[in-house]
Amino acid sequence: MHYKKLFSKHLLLRKFHKGDIDFIFKHFSDANVTRFLYDQEPLKSIEEASKLLSWVMDFDSQDHIRWCITLKDIPIGTCGFHLYDAEMKSAEIGYDLAYQHWNKGYMTEALNVVLHHAKQNLQLHTVNACVATDNTFSQKLLQKLKFVLVKTDPNKHLYRGKYYPHHIYSLVLK
């Protein structure tokens, strides 16, 4: 998927590089960040972080693309698209921000530029989002970005022996 460095008022969204390993480990082992990510366990080792870093550094992928969100050159989160469907021109959006930066408008800022890029350069028509029903902050973010609730799947993710319901939101890029 077509990569481009993206800028917003406060943020620079760039490619990941090998030096981001410590950030990836710290970020995806943080209980606040991973609390509602029922499709993956929090990271427990640098080896696990290294696998995830390889995934976000797979710049030739036809399935996904992930930016490193930076504030004053410091990584503070990630966002991007996965489950890209070329025929349908659709993909699912994903995002996560370091806890100390929550509720300052940063993810709204980041996703606005990423969604603009999706329309202009990735030629996406529809962006979907899958969010745990108890993840209220993420739902508020999606609603603010004009995503529409399409359905609720009661058994979306099996995590530690229990199914967690998820809302599916959708945004048609106009």
Ligand X SMILES: CC(C)(COP(=O)(O)OP(=O)(O)OC[C@H]1O[C@@H](n2cnc3c(N)ncnc32)[C@H](O)[C@@H]1OP(=O)(O)O)[C@@H](O)C(=O)NCCC(=O)NCCS
How much is the CA Rg of the chain, to the nearest whole Å?
Answer: 15
Of 106, 147, 164, 169, the one binding ligand X by CB under 6 A: 106
- Segment interacting with ligand X (CB under 6 A) among 10-18, 39-47, 100-108, 116-124: 100-108
146 binds ligand X (CB under 6 A): no
140 binds ligand X (CB under 6 A): yes
Min CB(60)–ligand X separation in Å: 25
128 binds ligand X (CB under 6 A): no
Biggest CA pair distance of the chain: 42
How, if at all, do strands 65-71 and 90-97 pair? unpaired
> Following DSSP, what letter does each residue of 46-97 receive, concatenated?
HHHHHHHHHHHT-TT-SS-EEEEEEETTEEEEEEEEEEEETTTTEEEEEEEE
Phi, psi of 111 (to 5 degrees): -70, -30
96 binds ligand X (CB under 6 A): yes
- Segment interacting with ligand X (CB under 6 A) among 60-68, 93-101, 119-127, 157-165: 93-101
11 binds ligand X (CB under 6 A): no
Contacts of 42 (CB under 8 A, 6+ apart): 28, 29, 30, 31, 34
User: Of 86 and 134, which CB lies nearer to ligand X in the complex structure?
Assistant: 134
Would you tell me which residues interact with ligand X (CB under 6 A)? 33, 36, 95-97, 102-108, 131, 135, 137-138, 140-141, 144
